[in-house]
């Protein structure tokens, strides 16, 4: 199935991660589902969840800056943690931090002509 939208996540003026989405709200649904699941199943206080997500976002940022390879699951968890922290106003959407959702550009196919 085609994914016509792209979300890019920026943290401390660096592009950290980029995802293809089916629809613009998909990223927020994923973040909300993860946050709610963690809170309900593990019965972890919200203060502790904020601290864990903040630590993970910082660690993932350091890994990306130092060009350490990251698994796709780590990227997904970063997106969930980052968007959850933004929703809780721990990370402010400003010039350094934030996300951008755009429509995906179609690639032009080059035509080959026979000589």
Cα dist. 58→23, 24, 42, 53, 96 in Å? 28, 25, 23, 9, 14
Assess contact for 97 and 85: CB atoms under 8 A: no
Rounded to the nearest 5°, which phi and psi values hold at 73? -65, -35
Q: What is the pLDDT of residue 1?
A: 54
The residues near 23 (Cβ < 8 Å, ≥ 6 apart) are 5
- DSSP for residue 12: T
Which tens digits make up the pLDDT trace of 55-92?
999 999 999 999 999 898 898 889 989 988 888 889 88
Which tens digits make up the pLDDT trace of 4-60?
888 899 999 999 998 888 888 888 887 777 777 777 788 888 888 889 999 999 999
The residues near 10 (Cβ < 8 Å, ≥ 6 apart) are 16, 96, 97, 98, 99, 100
Q: What is the pLDDT of residue 46?
A: 83
Residue with the larger pLDDT of the pair 102 and 112: 102
pTM of the model: 0.79
């Amino acid at each position: 199935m085609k994914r016509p939208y792209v979300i890019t996540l920026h943290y401390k003026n660096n592009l950290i991660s980029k995802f293809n989405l089916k629809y613009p709200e998909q990223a927020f649904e994923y973040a909300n589902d993860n946050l709610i699941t963690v809170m309900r199943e593990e019965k972890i206080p919200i203060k502790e969840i904020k601290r864990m997500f903040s630590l993970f976002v910082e660690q993932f940022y350091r890994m990306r800056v130092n060009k350490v390879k990251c698994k796709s699951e780590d990227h997904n968890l970063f997106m969930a943690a980052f968007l959850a922290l933004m929703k809780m106003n721990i990370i402010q959407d400003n010039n350094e931090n934030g996300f951008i959702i755009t429509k995906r550009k179609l690639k032009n196919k080059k035509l080959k002509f026979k000589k």
